[in-house]
């Protein structure tokens, strides 16, 4: 999808599960790679996408985006339910590249709004959201995907 200095942002696949399982364990979400592979395949077949950031080794980060219809919105709403970068790879722009790729996928799904689901105890994610143009709203943070809306 996108590439920058050896970093590639692309759709996650079941083959990424072992490396992603290691990254997920960093944030306290331990699961067997086989279970993660099944979940990645299910995400791929629904109104959603999982994107992985990868350099020359195992995955560096992951963003999972879903979109849904709402009676309150004329167009689908995109919601990021997972966004993280491995501790060793942070502060290098990888999160911003994942967010940019997720925003592009949301626009392609005809969404006007992008939400990031963030818990109140996730200070790093909250700071990242504010730094990338999100404001508190909905279940976490929200921003328009198209200018002038």
**pLDDT score at 80:** 92
Residue range 88-143, pLDDT digits in tens: 788 888 989 999 999 999 999 999 889 888 665 577 778 888 888 888 876 677 77
For the chain, domains (ranges, CATH) are 2-144 (3.40.630.30)
Q: What does the pLDDT read at residue 18?
A: 93
For residue 103, the model assigns a pLDDT of 93
* DSSP symbol at 114: E
pLDDT of residue 24: 87
Q: What angle do CA 46, 51, 52 make, to 5 degrees?
A: 145
Q: What is the average pLDDT across 55-82?
A: 89
Closest CA to 12 of 47, 61, 55: 61
Q: Under a CB-based contact definition with an 8 Å cutoff, are residues 20 and 62 in contact?
A: yes
Residue 124 CB coordination number (10 Å): 12
Q: Is the pLDDT of residue 2 over 90?
A: no
pTM for this predicted structure: 0.83
pLDDT at 41 over 60: yes
First-to-last C-alpha distance (Å) of the chain = 27
């Amino acid at each position: 999808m996108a590439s920058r200095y050896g970093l590639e942002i692309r759709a996650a696949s079941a083959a990424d599960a072992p490396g992603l399982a290691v990254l997920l364990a960093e944030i306290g979400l331990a699961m067997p790679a086989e279970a993660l592979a099944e979940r990645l395949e299910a995400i791929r077949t629904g109104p959603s996408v999982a994107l992985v950031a990868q350099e020359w080794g195992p995955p560096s980060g992951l963003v999972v985006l879903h979109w849904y219809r709402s009676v309150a919105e004329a167009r689908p709403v995109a919601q990021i339910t997972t966004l993280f970068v491995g501790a060793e790879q942070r502060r290098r722009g990888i999160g911003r590249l994942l967010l940019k790729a997720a925003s592009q996928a949301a626009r392609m799904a005809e969404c006007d709004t992008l939400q990031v689901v963030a818990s109140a105890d996730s200070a790093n994610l909250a700071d990242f959201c504010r730094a990338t143009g999100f404001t508190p709203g909905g279940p976490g943070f929200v921003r328009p995907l198209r200018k002038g809306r």
